[in-house]
């Protein structure tokens, strides 16, 4: 068994389903070393640690199956307000209910990711790990992104995320990310980065910094790999023409 301790929540971020807690009355803890998730390669061996089904200190192993895998998770409210978009590391290390929040380690015992989701046979993804079991598709938040979020939560109690300042039509089935909404909200935020760059409703974003984008989810996760204030180059399709715009990312709270 383990020990229980009192803790307070320093801050939480819905966008990555992460929180920072401060533990009191505990001494002698040694933090795990953090690695560099940008240097991880497909095929690298990894180890996942967690407590699936309340079985503490369970260790499973596998490899990195893919990088920069855009996944969506959450959505329990049904209105999209609690959906998280994660540019994840994919692993075949078994990640079962209870592993969520545990570390994904490299062969030098450095944390390279935070176990966050498994994908079930019906295609659902659950950040809380609420599936019946792993089928070889596990996902982890890259530690470089998790560290940035944690540092902001510690320093300010809230995390910020980079934004383009547009709303996306998440039901669009074409290739790319289409700017537009079903509701009454403005598809392009007035005075925002997108508006200043000349983005308009109906534009379809097809590339970010020269990398192809096939959906709204992919655009979101590629944007979140940056920081507010970073410069981004977008390729747009408008009607039958193509154009490239450059903008400086704004910021929004993750809540």
Q: How many CB atoms lie within 10 A of CB 167?
A: 19
The end-to-end CA distance of the chain, in Å, is 34
Same domain, 185 and 242: yes
Same domain, 43 and 127: yes
Same domain, 123 and 75: yes
Least confident of 38-47, 115-124, 142-151: 115-124
In a domain, 232, yes or no: yes
Least confident of 19-33, 87-101, 144-158, 234-248: 87-101
At residue 77, the pLDDT reads 47
pLDDT at residue 146 greater than cutoff 70 = yes
In whole angstroms, give the CA distance from residue 43 to residue 39: 12
Q: Assign 221 a pLDDT band (cuts: 50, 70, 90).
A: confident
In a domain, 20, yes or no: no
Q: Which among 144, 177, 193 is the end of a domain?
A: 144
Same domain, 125 and 176: no
Same domain, 137 and 165: no
For residue 158, what are its two tokens? Answer: 């809230």
Q: Which among 113, 144, 175 is the end of a domain?
A: 144
How many domains would you assign to the chain? Answer: 2
Same domain, 75 and 169: no
Residue 241: CATH number of its domain: 2.30.42.10
In a domain, 166, yes or no: yes
Backbone angles phi, psi at 129, to 5 degrees: 70, 30
Owner of token pair 């074409």 = 174
At residue 130, the pLDDT reads 43
pLDDT at residue 151 greater than cutoff 90 = yes
Same domain, 54 and 138: yes
Same domain, 133 and 173: no
Domain that holds residue 183: 160-253
The answer to whether the CB of 208 falls within 8 A of the CB of 222 is yes
Q: What's the predicted TM-score (pTM) here?
A: 0.78
pLDDT at residue 234 greater than cutoff 50 = yes
In a domain, 25, yes or no: no
Residue 73: CATH number of its domain: 2.40.10.10
Same domain, 97 and 121: yes
Q: Which among 82, 116, 144 is the end of a domain?
A: 144
Determine the average pLDDT of the residues in 20-40. 93
């Amino acid at each position: 068994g383990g020990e229980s301790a009192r803790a307070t929540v320093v801050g939480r971020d819905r966008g990555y389903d992460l929180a920072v807690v401060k533990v009191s009355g505990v001494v002698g803890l040694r933090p795990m070393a953090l690695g560099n998730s940008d240097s991880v390669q497909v095929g690298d061996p990894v180890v996942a640690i967690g407590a699936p089904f309340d079985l503490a200190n369970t260790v499973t192993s596998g490899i990195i199956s893919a990088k920069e895998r855009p996944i969506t998770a959450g959505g329990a409210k049904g209105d999209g307000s609690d959906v998280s978009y994660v540019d994840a590391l994919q692993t075949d290390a078994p990640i079962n209910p209870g592993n969520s929040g545990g570390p994904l380690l490299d062969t030098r015992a450095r944390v390279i990711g935070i176990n966050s989701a498994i994908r079930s046979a019906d295609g659902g993804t659950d950040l809380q790990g609420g599936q019946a079991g792993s089928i070889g598709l596990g996902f982890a938040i890259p530690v470089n992104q998790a560290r940035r979020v944690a540092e902001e939560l510690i320093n300010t109690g809230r995390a910020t995320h980079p934004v383009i300042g547009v709303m996306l039509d998440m039901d669009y089935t074409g290739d790319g990310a289409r700017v537009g909404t079903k509701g009454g909200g403005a598809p392009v935020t007035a005075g925002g980065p997108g508006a200043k760059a000349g983005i308009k409703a109906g534009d379809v974003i097809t590339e970010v910094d020269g990398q192809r984008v096939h959906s709204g989810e992919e655009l979101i996760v590629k944007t979140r790999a940056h920081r507010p204030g970073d410069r981004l180059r977008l390729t747009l399709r408008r009607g039958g023409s193509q154009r490239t715009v450059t903008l400086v990312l704004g910021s929004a709270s993750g809540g």
